[in-house]
Amino acid sequence: MCGIVGIFSHRPVAGELYDSLIHLQHRGQDAAGIMTYDRRMHKEKGLGMVQDIFTEDNMGLLSGNIGVGHTRYPTHGGFGHGEIQPFWTEVPYGIAMAHNGNLVNYQELAREITKKEKRYLNTTSDTETILHLFADALSKNSVAESEEQFFEQICQAVQQVFHRASGSYSTVSIIVGKGMVVFRDPHGIRPLSMGKRKNPDGTDDYIFASETTMFYALDYTLIGNVSPGEVIYISSDGRKFNCILQKKKFTPCVFEYVYFSRPDNMMNDVSVYRARLRMGQNLANCWKKRYPEILPDVVIPAPATSNTAALSLAHKLGVRYTEGLYKNPFIGRTFIMPGQERRKKSVKYKLVPQEIEIRDKNVMIVDDSIVRGNTCKEIVKMVRDFGAKKVYFTVACPPVKLPCFYGVDMPTKLELIASQMNEKEIQEFIGADILLYQEIDDLVEAVTRKGEHHIDRPCMACLDGWYVTGDVDDEKMQLMEKQRNLERSQLT
């Protein structure tokens, strides 16, 4: 899971790209990069947080009115400086690309590119593979005499990507001397929103981003999403071309709504905030059916992603909502931290219980999900240490049982507690008096209840084992598990 942004403007874009990456920081804390174009490409990237990478000096070098940016949370590839996006190729024209997603068939494509096509890959990132597929297909076209002809060539090149690449991918790219190209995989697994800003002279600026959270601050208006299987081209003179090349079952990632996205984001025409409110409502209804005689004294979210669901759950139960766990805002998101030990160590640094809200009370904790089980175990222990009489643990997401191969960092079954234990065993492991998970049907209903979203069904492979690309079997799972473990061993 990463954050991407592309801006086509009639004014310098470096500052707006920086602001956008700040808004997307929660989607990746490992690294960030920006590339802009002004007769030639300018780039700046580094490891760490956005505010630490970009300075007044290096931002001044990023000239141009068109650019792309990326915040990295690695699900594939190494962790070095060379793996930081955006990536760049000189042939043809010169293309810079940033990508959010994950390819299921990366290993096969990498072998084809290096062995059969005799091309060199500089990294182990699947983004470079997508860039190669697109650039190679585009290079085989003749010189276009018009923007319309060039867009036809772009469509042909993206069709080749769709034909060869399996998995999730939303991309933003710059083509030297031509303009901006964005496209989204035919299932629309990873998000990509589109905004427009009208200038006083009548021209239009465009922004494409993983989330809409920066649109208001930058004076952009949300005009929709890049549709599944769609390619959009903004020519250097500001004309917009678009075409839906493939139309398949629309299956956006459900975990975006549960955890990754900011609550103020409008994703695929669904309010993330309202979806999480509905998750809390549905979870409360389930609690009342299962335990009609039991009510907690307080409802406490495991901050901060679960705050919204906890608020509506408390309201539905008629129980006081309180922020009994204070979150240190300067500690990163533990779920996306590389390495289990760093995640476990950071929990106590991140969360501090407020004793006055906990002591001598029956406490219901609401969390967004249970992935590895270590964080919720520490939270239950904290609450008990601060005097809770009973601890009920409720979860806005069903049990995460299987690896995700579409961009979320849970690639091995052994890491997933729900793949190793049943719910009773998990309850005992985390030390809760009651454990209640959301039902899958209730989660889907919460996401799809409102909005003209055209979602056929969310991608929930990590919950129900249905991989939308249809090419994930036990052998593939083992290969990707082995690769991910190798990459993690290199990190440590």
| Residue numbers annotated as active site | 2
3-state SS, residue 254: helix
Cα dist from 463 to 14, 101, 180, 187, whole Å: 39, 18, 36, 18
Return phi, psi of residue 210, to 5°: -65, -30
Residue with tokens 């309180």: 322
Under 8 Å CB-to-CB from 21, ≥6 apart: which residues? Answer: 3, 5, 32, 34, 50, 69, 70, 71
Residue with tokens 């069709």: 159
Q: What is the DSSP string of 429-468?
A: HHT-SEEEEPPHHHHHHHHHSSSS---S--B-HHHH---T
In sequence order, what are the beta bridge partners of 105? none
Distance CA 64, CA 13 (A): 6
Distance CA 222, CA 195 (A): 4
Distance CA 182, CA 229 (A): 11
Under 8 Å CB-to-CB from 17, ≥6 apart: which residues? Answer: 5, 7, 34, 36, 62, 67, 68, 69
Selection from 325, 304, 215 nearest residue 262 by Cα: 304
3-state SS, residue 346: helix
Q: Are 453 and 444 in contact (CB under 8 A)?
A: no
